[in-house]
């Protein structure tokens, strides 16, 4: 899909010129003549990168950027400020407002396009995470960019020029933990084994190729998402363009400007934490979606998906597979006598006892109500019957103590067993056979294990 660039400028001529430049590079272009219109376009998810002028009537580029970064729904959209303002203070002000870059006109097409492609790659990674759990109206965001700090980061500086890395240490050391590494090979190991928020790589290493190090960091699984900021000489556009093509996130030209370095580092640390928070929250959300909230074991959805894989693997490897269907006996009486909170406590304790008795490769899941299933790979029907008896004893041999600690309840469980057919079996059939065996156990007096094969 072609990346969509939103160009924001109150000057129609500037918009037409920028639009022509971007379309020549095969980008899709959306335009806005003021900040409020740009905010609406971003809110609707209709752009991948914002290119905004700074000096505009009403809402200027700084305010537009601040508002985008404060909104959880648009905070991940990269912003590049493009303006004829060329003072260092303007550049720093843009970065402090949350901009991902600040380009002074006339900006070279090569430089502009390289920056765009790098930021588009970054946004694509964030979009891929957020798309797995899209936000509903009024829902909590997966991460809040505005609440995150860009300070107190852990930064590795790879440079073998004492004059340069001492400057970096002096500028960043008051707000961040800064490690210096003069050996590029050793730096690669440190990043892979450490927990850095940012790697700063000098492209002027005398003992190694800084571009090669950047390429290696991008190619390894453990480091390919690590933010990289490069230090590059003012006139070395060729190596800078190559670095950006490799996926470097940002750069600072030498001789260093301390304010710009601090601002760019703070932006990268903050974006790293934002992406980490999204990734962590997505993982948590996935776990919650596949876990029973009351008992902490897997839910029916997870079981059914897992069984598909277990059955396929069992057939491929010629191994047995068995299921235990379990139902707590007379559970309704527990709720009627002691109340639903007591029933919930019994379910949670039951799941805990069963889970502790099973192997890591087994799936323990709650089907619903007081019914649970255990799926056991590499287990034949006879082994499953013995395991079922062990679980029955684990449940019945020790009373369940209610949360108040004053009431003990004797609980028993009925268990049905099924095993994988020689060919053509399915999760639904295995569950159905175990369920039929379970009801036989109920009819024959409860507190017993019955196999569907018997």
Q: What angle do CA 260, 246, 264 make, to 5 degrees?
A: 15
CA distance 362 to 364: 6
Is position 186 annotated as part of the catalytic site? no
- 208: exposed, middle or buried (Cβ count in 10 Å: 0-12, 13-18, 19+): middle
Name the catalytic one among 181, 260, 349, 370.
370
Q: In what order do the strands lie in the sheet with 154-158?
A: 177-181, 154-158, 198-202, 228-233, 250-254
Estimate the share of the chain in helix, then strand, then coil, as percent rounded to the nearest 5: 50, 20, 35
Whether the upstream peptide bond of residue 106 has omega within 30° of 0, thus cis, is yes
Q: How far is CA 59 from the centre of its chain?
A: 34
CA distance 36 to 219: 40
Report the candidate in 84, 43, 78 with the shortest Cα–Cα distance to residue 267. Answer: 78
Are the C-beta atoms of 288 and 384 separated by less than 8 Å?
Answer: no
Positive or negative: CA dihedral 199, 203, 208, 213: positive
Catalytic residue numbers read 370
């Amino acid at each position: 899909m072609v990346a969509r660039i939103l160009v924001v400028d109150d000057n129609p001529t500037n918009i037409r010129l920028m639009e022509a430049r971007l379309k020549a590079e095969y980008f899709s272009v959306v335009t806005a003549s003021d900040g409020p219109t740009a905010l609406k376009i971003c809110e609707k998810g209709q752009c991948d990168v914002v290119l905004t002028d700074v000096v505009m009537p009403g809402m200027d580029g700084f305010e537009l950027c601040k508002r985008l970064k404060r909104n959880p729904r648009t905070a991940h959209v990269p912003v590049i400020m493009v303006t004829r303002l060329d003072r260092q203070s303007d550049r720093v002000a843009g970065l402090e407002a949350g901009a991902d870059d600040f380009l002074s006109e006339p900006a070279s097409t090569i430089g502009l396009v390289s920056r765009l492609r790098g930021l588009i790659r970054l946004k694509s990674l964030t979009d891929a995470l957020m798309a797995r759990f899209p936000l509903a109206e009024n829902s909590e965001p997966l991460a809040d960019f505005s609440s995150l700090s860009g300070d107190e980061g852990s930064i590795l500086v790879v440079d073998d020029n004492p004059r340069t890395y001492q400057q970096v240490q002096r500028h960043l050391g008051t707000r961040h933990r800064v490690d210096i590494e003069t050996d590029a090979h050793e730096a690669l190991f440190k990043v892979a084994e450490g927990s850095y928020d940012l790697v700063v790589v000098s492209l002027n290493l005398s003992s190694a190729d800084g571009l090669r190090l950047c390429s290696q960091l991008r190619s390894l699984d453990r480091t390919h998402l690590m933010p990289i900021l490069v230090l590059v000489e003012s006139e070395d556009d060729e190596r800078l363009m190559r670095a950006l093509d490799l996926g470097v996130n940002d750069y600072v030209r030498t001789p260093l400007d301390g304010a710009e370095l601090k601002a760019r580092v703070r932006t990268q640390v903050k974006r790293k934490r934002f992406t980490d928070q999204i990734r962590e929250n997505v993982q948590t959300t996935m776990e919650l979606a596949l876990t029973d909230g009351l008992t902490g074991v897997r839910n029916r959805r997870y079981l059914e998906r897992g069984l598909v894989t277990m059955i396929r693997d069992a057939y491929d490897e010629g191994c047995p597979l068995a299921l235990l269907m379990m139902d707590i006996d007379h559970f309704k009486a527990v709720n009627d006598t002691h109340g639903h909170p007591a029933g919930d406590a019994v379910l949670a304790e039951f799941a805990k006892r069963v889970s502790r008795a099973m192997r890591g490769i087994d799936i323990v899941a709650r089907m619903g109500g007081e019914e649970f299933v255990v799926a056991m790979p590499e287990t034949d029907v006879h082994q499953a019957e013995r395991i079922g008896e062990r679980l029955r004893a684990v449940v019945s041999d020790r009373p369940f103590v209610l949360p108040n600690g004053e009431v003990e309840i004797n609980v028993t469980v009925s268990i049905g067993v099924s095993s994988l057919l020689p060919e053509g079996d399915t999760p639904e059939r295995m569950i159905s056979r175990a369920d039929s065996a379970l009801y036989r156990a109920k009819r024959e007096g409860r507190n017993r294990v019955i196999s569907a094969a018997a």
